[in-house]
Amino acid sequence: MQKIVVAGGGVLGSQIAFQAAYCGLNVTIWLRSEESISRTKPKLEQLEKTYTDFINEMSKKTVLGNGIATPDNFDKKSCLKKVKDAAKNIKIELDLAKAVKNADLVIESVTEQKQTKINFYKKLAPLLDAKTIIATNSSTMLPSTFAVYTGRPEKYLAIHFANSIWKNNTAEIMAQPKTSTKTFNAAMKIAKSINMIPLPIAQEKSGYLLNSMLVPFLLSALDLYASGVSDPESIDIAWTAGTGAPKGPFVIIDAVGLKTTYEIVEQYQKVPSLVNPLLKKMMMPYNFKAMKKILSERIKEGKLGEQSGEGFYKYN
């Protein structure tokens, strides 16, 4: 595969695009509007700086980033050139037909809302070449939900990337019932080609591997704050000092982004209606209403997380 199109320039969309370009692939980011361009370009500029700084730290042997290079093939000069080339070569396109022409792989990374994704796939389907594989980077939604709208369910699956892709270099590969073996193998191969560790998932699971563990953790932290039990900093310290973990839940939420977190809260709020009411209290003890209020207030104030300079914490 040579040409990859990333649909969406959010936190993960921009990271996926930059990582693929860093590894020498032809990368185009499709965006919906000029306003989206003004939001995405600063993310790409920041990623260029982040990769550069990270490579400089790798050269001092203080950090390790297998998304950048493995320890036995790390060459600082070569890696820095790849960063410059990536920043220079990523294309941004507003015309979807032009963006996906001759694409080998389209990675959907649009807003985590069901109807938004359906609308995107309906628009995308008639524009693709026969060879093109489609992958969703959805954090919580199953690929089988959207397979029929792609027009090529046998060439559709999920590839979910972790945040801070240059160091947290995992790619969770999850098929849906109609995904062909050929498509699944191709996804595993492309993940390796951009320095990811491909993690095959044998059956569909909302949240995949990482988020099945991470989301309940973040919801528990938000609930402690939303219910007035404690403040974000104290909750974070309880986790980091008590477990030795490098980051607390609210630092992670700021990195993920408050908009994405809000969308996840909305998705999980719907779960109790699908289960036995007798189990509802036991399974979902969270104060979703208060969580959404806290997140929406910050979002309205432009406190979107680390990307905007402030979320639950302030960033330079």
**In terms of pLDDT, which residue wins out, 256 or 151?**
151
Looking at the chain, the domain(s) classified CATH 1.10.1040.10 span 212-308
Helix (H, G, I), strand (E, B) or coil at 6: strand
Query: What pLDDT digit, counting tens, does each position of 40-86 carry?
Result: 999 999 999 999 999 998 888 766 678 998 777 889 999 999 999 99
Going from the C-alpha of 120 to that of each of 113, 126, 149, 183, 291, the distances in angstroms are 11, 11, 9, 21, 29
Going from the C-alpha of 73 to that of each of 78, 128, 254, the distances in angstroms are 10, 37, 33
Residue 281 predicted with pLDDT over 70: no
Query: What pLDDT digit, counting tens, does each position of 89-121 carry?
Result: 999 999 999 999 999 999 999 988 899 999 999
Calpha distance 290→312 (Å, rounded):
15
Looking at the chain, the domain(s) classified CATH 3.40.50.720 span 3-201
The two structure tokens encoding residue 208: 């995949």
Query: What pLDDT digit, counting tens, does each position of 156-174 carry?
Result: 999 999 989 999 999 999 9
CATH no., domain 212-308: 1.10.1040.10
Alpha helices in 75-180 (DSSP H): 76-89, 96-100, 114-124, 147-150
Going from the C-alpha of 91 to that of each of 40, 115, 202, the distances in angstroms are 12, 27, 34
- The residue behind tokens 């397979």 is 147
Contacts of 89 (CB under 8 A, 6+ apart): 21, 26, 27
Calpha distance 128→227 (Å, rounded):
48
The CATH class of the 3-201 domain is alpha beta
Query: What pLDDT digit, counting tens, does each position of 201-236 carry?
Result: 988 988 889 888 998 899 999 999 999 999 999 999
Please give the sequence-ordered ranges of beta strands (E in DSSP) within 130-232, or none if there are none.
Answer: 133-136, 156-161, 170-175, 197-201
- Length, in residues, of the chain: 316
Does pTM surpass 0.85? no
